[in-house]
């Protein structure tokens, strides 16, 4: 069996690592991959957003399964293009990927379906947006409609800040076309969790809960990042809440999409705020989360490929996804300066030693191989991950592995998963 994985970050290394352990022992190709995927797969010199080049490679090489990691190629219609070639692809169509590609579309679906979410209004003009912001007051949230590399959301604690965010998006075009329409949204208070679900369009299987750490510094301080670490399970998502999320979030959303003729196939990721009034959706993503995937996939007890294929075939069943009893923690090691400007090309030492730490695995994110050396090649460099009997044990093992790794300017949070022990 031949499997093609699209993307080159920590999520894709975790996907490749999981697929490589599948009992069907597939030959794996990764476009473009990184130094970590190179150990388990053949990296292709094809960018994750280069749809024509991916389609061309797939047309010639006929992978039995393609798994698409990032949102950009999904929103650009990569799945539709590959399916046109008669190929089997895990991931939503362009129409379905609008759940992430357009926050206005996602909100429309949620409102029509009665999915619990923040109240919001949509604007294209500055004056009415500002008037609305002033009438509601702070705190308030301003969101660019489209894909903005994680920078399109501003949580504002003052009206002045919100006014600036409105102008930045609508007037200064800080996010280009992606910010030509904005949502002005009610601020939701609570603890966040990520709930990812597999979907074949009709059936949903929620994956184990996880929590990300979006801010760069300990104690959730400093600017937002792509995610500085994650853990699974997230105790804030209790066993009582899970069926509510399944029914009110995933059930209602997929039913509404079906009503509109859209079959959602792939991962639907709900960012959820656990508020005093129950879970409410902050946003949807049309893909696996990064770094959530790094803590969910190592917990799987069985093969992943049958579950992915069932999503394509419309035969998804809960029995296809089973877990080990262990918890999992991922600590992201980033380049100094990230999420601002940072240097690339620093040599990474200690990877082999880290991999020898019990139950630890180092997922590469921004790395590349050069003459046998592993160099940094991005902001988030590594996702140092470990399983443990409980979260505390997993935290200890993950940080034991982090301690073995060095590169110039390396930075990481020291409090990954600490929230899970709050008050315990």
CB of 325 to ligand AMP, least distance (A): 29
Distance (Å, rounded) from C-alpha 284 to C-alpha 272? Answer: 9
CB of 332 to ligand GLY, least distance (A): 10
Residue in the shown chain whose Cβ atom is closest to ligand GLY: 289
Q: How many CA atoms lie within 13 A of 168 on its CB side?
A: 16
282 binds ligand AMP (CB under 6 A): yes
Binding site for ligand GLY (CB under 6 A): 212, 227, 285, 289-290, 292
Judged by CB under 6 A, the residue of 52, 114, 128, 150 near ligand AMP is 150
Nearest partner of 234 among 212, 214, 250, judged by Cα: 212
- CB nearer to ligand GLY: give 248 or 290: 290
CB of 212 to ligand GLY, least distance (A): 4
Q: Between the CA of residue 161 and those of 133, 166, 173, what are the distances in Å?
A: 10, 9, 17
Contacts of 135 (CB under 8 A, 6+ apart): none
- CB nearer to ligand GLY: give 256 or 290: 290
283 binds ligand AMP (CB under 6 A): yes
Residue in this structure with the two tokens 């022990």, named with its chain if needed? 421
CB of 269 to ligand GLY, least distance (A): 7
Question: Reduced to 3 states, what is the DSSP secondary structure of residue 101?
Answer: helix
Q: How many CA atoms lie within 13 A of 122 on its CB side?
A: 13
Residue in this structure with the two tokens 């994750």, named with its chain if needed? 48
Q: Between the CA of residue 163 and those of 31, 139, 143, 185, what are the distances in Å?
A: 41, 12, 12, 13
What is the phi/psi pair of residue 57, to 5°? -60, -45
By CB under 6 A, the residues from 196 to 225 that bind ligand AMP are 214
User: Which of ligand AMP, ligand GLY, none sits in contact with 283, Cβ below 5 to 8 A by type?
Assistant: ligand AMP
Nearest partner of 110 among 283, 235, 266, judged by Cα: 283
Distance (Å, rounded) from C-alpha 412 to C-alpha 225? Answer: 12
CB of 39 to ligand GLY, least distance (A): 24
- CB nearer to ligand GLY: give 200 or 290: 290
| DSSP state, residue 2 | E
Choices 9-17, 180-188, 199-207, 240-248 (CB under 6 A): range interacting with ligand AMP: 180-188
CB of 151 to ligand GLY, least distance (A): 12
Choices 147-155, 241-249, 342-350, 395-403 (CB under 6 A): range interacting with ligand AMP: 147-155
Distance (Å, rounded) from C-alpha 132 to C-alpha 250? Answer: 30
User: Which of ligand AMP, ligand GLY, none sits in contact with 136, Cβ below 5 to 8 A by type?
Assistant: none
159 binds ligand AMP (CB under 6 A): no
182 binds ligand AMP (CB under 6 A): no
| DSSP state, residue 342 | -
- CB nearer to ligand GLY: give 200 or 292: 292
Instruction: Locate 144 and state its tokens.
Output: 């660019």
Write the burial class of residue 247 (CB in 10 Å: 0-12 exposed, 13-18 middle, 19+ buried).
exposed
What is the phi/psi pair of residue 240, to 5°? -75, -30
Secondary structure string (H, E, C) spanning 134-161: HHHCCCEEEEECCCCCCCCEEEECCHHH
CB of 154 to ligand AMP, least distance (A): 8
CB of 347 to ligand GLY, least distance (A): 27
- CB nearer to ligand GLY: give 44 or 68: 68
271 binds ligand AMP (CB under 6 A): yes
Write the burial class of residue 92 (CB in 10 Å: 0-12 exposed, 13-18 middle, 19+ buried).
buried
- CB nearer to ligand AMP: give 187 or 323: 187
CB of 284 to ligand AMP, least distance (A): 9
User: Which of ligand GLY, ligand AMP, none sits in contact with 282, Cβ below 5 to 8 A by type?
Assistant: ligand AMP
187 binds ligand AMP (CB under 6 A): yes
- CB nearer to ligand AMP: give 87 or 282: 282
- CB nearer to ligand GLY: give 17 or 284: 284
Asked if residue 77 lies in contact with residue 220, where contact means CB atoms within 8 angstroms, the answer is no
Q: How many CB atoms lie within 10 A of CB 409?
A: 14
CB of 419 to ligand GLY, least distance (A): 15
337 binds ligand AMP (CB under 6 A): no
Nearest partner of 212 among 289, 103, 149, judged by Cα: 289
Q: Which residues lie near ligand AMP (CB under 6 A)?
A: 118, 141, 150, 153, 155, 185-188, 192, 214, 271, 282-283
């Amino acid at each position: 069996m031949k499997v093609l994985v699209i993307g080159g970050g920590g999520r894709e290394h975790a996907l490749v690592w999981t697929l490589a352990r599948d009992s069907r022992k597939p030959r794996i190709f990764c476009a473009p991959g990184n130094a970590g995927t190179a150990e388990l797969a053949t990296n292709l010199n094809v960018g994750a957003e280069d749809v024509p080049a991916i389609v061309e490679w797939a047309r010639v090489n006929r992978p039995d399964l393609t798994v698409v990691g990032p949102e950009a190629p999904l929103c650009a219609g990569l799945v539709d293009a590959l399916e046109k070639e008669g190929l089997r692809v895990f991931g939503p169509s362009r129409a379905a990927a609008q759940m992430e590609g357009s926050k206005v579309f996602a909100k429309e679906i949620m409102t029509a379906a009665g999915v619990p979410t923040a109240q919001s209004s949509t604007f294209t003009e500055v004056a009415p947006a500002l008037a609305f912001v002033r009438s509601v007051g702070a705190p308030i949230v301003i969101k660019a409609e489209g894909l903005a590399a994680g920078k399109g959301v501003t949580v504002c604690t003052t009206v002045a800040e919100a006014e600036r965010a409105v102008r930045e998006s609508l007037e200064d075009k800080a996010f280009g076309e992606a910010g030509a329409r904005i949502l002005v949204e009610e601020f939701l208070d609570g603890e966040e969790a990520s709930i990812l679900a597999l979907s074949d369009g009709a059936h949903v299987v929620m994956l184990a809960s996880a929590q990300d750490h979006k801010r760069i510094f300990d104690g959730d301080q400093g600017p937002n990042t792509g995610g500085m670490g994650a853990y699974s399970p997230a105790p804030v998502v209790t066993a009582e809440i899970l069926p509510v999320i399944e029914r009110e979030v995933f059930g209602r959303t997929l039913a509404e999409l079906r009503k509109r003729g859209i079959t959602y196939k792939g991962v639907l990721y709900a960012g959820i705020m656990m508020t005093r009034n129950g879970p409410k959706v902050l946003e949807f993503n049309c893909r696996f989360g990064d770094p959530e995937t790094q803590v969910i996939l190592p917990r799987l007890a069985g093969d992943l490929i049958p579950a992915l294929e069932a999503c394509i075939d419309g035969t998804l069943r809960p029995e296809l996804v089973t877990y080990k009893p262990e918890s999992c923690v991922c600590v992201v090691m980033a380049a100094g300066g990230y999420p601002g400007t940072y240097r690339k090309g620093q040599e990474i030492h200690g990877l082999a030693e880290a991999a020898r730490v019990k139950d630890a695995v180092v997922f590469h994110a921004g790395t590349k191989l050069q003459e046998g050396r592993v160099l940094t090649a991005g902001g988030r460099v590594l996702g140092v991950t470990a399983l443990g009997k409980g979260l505390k044990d997993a935290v200890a093992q993950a940080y034991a592995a982090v301690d073995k790794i060095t590169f110039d300017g390396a930075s990481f949070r020291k409090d990954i998963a600490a929230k899970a022990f709050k008050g315990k």
